[in-house]
A = this chain, B = another copy of it.
Amino acid sequence: MSGEQELGITESKAHNPGDWYAEVVRKAGLADYAPMGGFIVTRPRGYALWEGLQSHLDGWFKETGVQNAYFPLFIPESYLEREKDIVEGFDPEVAWVTHGGYDELEERLAVRPTSESIITPFMAQWIRSHRDLPMRLNQWCSVVRWEATDTKPFFRTKEFLWQEGHTAHRDGEEAWEETIRRLDQYERLYTDVLAIPALRGKKPDHDKFPGADTTTTLEALMPDGKSVQSCTSHYLGTSFAEAYDVTYADEDEEEQLAHTTSWGLSWRALGALIMTHSDDQGLVLPPTIAPEQVVIVPIWQEDTREAVLEYCGDLRDELDGAGVRVHLDDRDERNPGFKFNEWELKGVPLRIEVGPNEVEDGEVTLVHRPDGESEAADRSDLVEAVEGALDTVYAKLYAAAEENLESNVREADSRNEILGTIGRHGGYVKTGWCGEEACEAEIKEQIAAEIVMVPMDEDEPPIHDTCGVCGEGAETTAYFAKSY
């Protein structure tokens, strides 16, 4: 750390969001670029966010019947090939292991791009009767997809961390319920932990997961007007069960095909978190997931040092005892202004400032991270005041993100209106759509916007009778947006 200059964010979120994002990630100590293009090193502060997210999601999975497991990192090429959609979908982006030690392998091994093709055949072995269903497995791991794009930490990397859930069920209804159950849990994560509201829908057929019947998604709107696909939950129908022979004996001893699902959430959720809330002072985190929720910064002169530090130590102990994640920054070699900047950069949601006045008056001063709002509280109400302030901080972050989303879903009724509206405002444009990929391609070519989702409910009438692009009859509503 070479001082103030290194600490400050120099790029602007409003004017140069790409460079600003990269600078926040690096200077807040979340991640660095690895020597190989497309890879990053996740530093402790970034990894702590992942652990925070995991602890919530993993708990909800386990409460709802999911068991963690671990499948091999490598998948034999012949296994990938058993599901033709999978191999077509992933072949261009598979990293291949060809040598073990000094020897060439007889069969190439794919570094897993996703694990349906190794997990499903094992489900087929383990499932015998209806009593073995539903079977719900999940693994936390990394996957590799060799995409040739500019690296953007947590958004676009060749290796990324995620969880992938894989389940098998007796019929389509149960499997569909599972698909939605996991989408609900992802939505809970975004709403209650990451302070990010999202739209709920499904991918158009041409953009589904390879082999899926239906791919459901949450789409979150970033402040720069682009959409992030925040998770996916796939109803796979019987296509994987057929390819890998997942059958079971029902109550009448008749052999039946299982219906399967898969669902995943990656560290892209961290990218959305960082990009949504942070500002030109650095990282902003909701208290739900911040490694430190509160930092205490003592402000003293030589003659008040002892009293101030003792008071601060008591505050720390009391908050710690109440289960608040608190850090007392009692470094001698840094002044309070430096500390304010550093903890703002690092995204601590609440700062407690304590000087001789606070000690004398038996008070504390609480400063909210997102907006610098400060409030005084009685020392005797410490825990209550801090918990209240943390709730307020969360509510502010959520409200700002919600406002951004709500004011950026617009309608358009013609090609020019779609292009113009997205061009001017970003965000989502709803329009009627005939269902042809060609109409999406036309928009994509001109402004790199695509259909990020269509409504989940197929019976919902389209917003307009005709397709906003070609003018033919509309089959559904489509949400166009530029997208990460």
The chain A residues found within 8 Å of chain B, CB to CB, are 1-2, 32, 34-36, 39-44, 46-48, 50-51, 67-74, 76, 79, 91-102, 108-109, 111, 118, 121-122, 125-126, 128, 131, 137, 141-142, 144, 146, 148, 158-159, 161, 333
Contacts and interface: CB of A to CB of B under 8 A. Distances in A.
Contacts of A1: 128
Contact of A159 (B67, B72, B76, B94): B72
Given A41-B69, A47-B69, A96-B97, A36 B74 contact: yes
Contact of A72 (B41, B121, B126): B41
Contacts of A100: 93-96, 146, 158
Nearest to A158: B100
A79 B35 contact: yes
B72 A43 contact: no
B111 A97 contact: yes
B101 A99 contact: no
B41 A73 contact: no
Contacts of A34: 71-72, 118
The dominant DSSP class at the A interface is mixed
A40 B131 CA distance: 25
Contacts of A146: 100-101
B95 A70 contact: no
**Chain copies in the assembly?**
2
28 contacts: A2-B128, A34-B71, A34-B72, A35-B121, A39-B74, A41-B71, A41-B72, A41-B118, A41-B122, A42-B71, A44-B67, A44-B68, A44-B137, A47-B69, A51-B68, A73-B111, A73-B159, A74-B95, A92-B101, A93-B101, A94-B101, A96-B97, A96-B100, A97-B98, A98-B98, A100-B146, A131-B333, A141-B142
Contacts of A109: 36, 95
Given A99-B98, A101-B93, A48 B68 contact: yes
Contacts of A159: 72-74
Given A96-B99, A101-B93, A72 B122 contact: no
A268 to B, nearest CB: 15
Contact of A95 (B79, B97, B122, B333): B97
Contacts of A72: 34, 36, 39-41, 159
Contacts of A122: 32, 41
Contacts of A70: 41-42, 47, 50, 142, 161
B96 A98 contact: yes
Nearest to A135: B44
B44 A76 contact: no
A145 to B, nearest CB: 9
A47 B46 CA distance: 25
Given A96-B97, A99-B95, A101-B93, A73 B35 contact: no
Contact of A43 (B69, B102, B108, B121): B69
A131 B333 CA distance: 11
Contacts of A102: 91-92
Q: Which among A35, A93, A141 has the highest number of chain B CB atoms within 10 Å?
A: A35
A72 B143 CA distance: 11
Nearest to A121: B35
Contacts of A46: 69
A48 B66 CA distance: 12
A137 B126 CA distance: 38
A280 to B, nearest CB: 25
B137 A73 contact: no
Nearest to A267: B70
Contact of A73 (B43, B108, B142): B142
A349 to B, nearest CB: 20
Nearest to A92: B101
Contacts of A71: 34, 41-42
Nearest to A159: B73
A299 to B, nearest CB: 22
Given A34-B72, A73-B142, 10 more contacts: A41-B69, A44-B68, A50-B70, A92-B101, A96-B99, A98-B99, A99-B108, A101-B146, A131-B333, A141-B142
Contacts of A121: 35
A147 to B, nearest CB: 8
Contacts of A41: 69-72, 118, 122
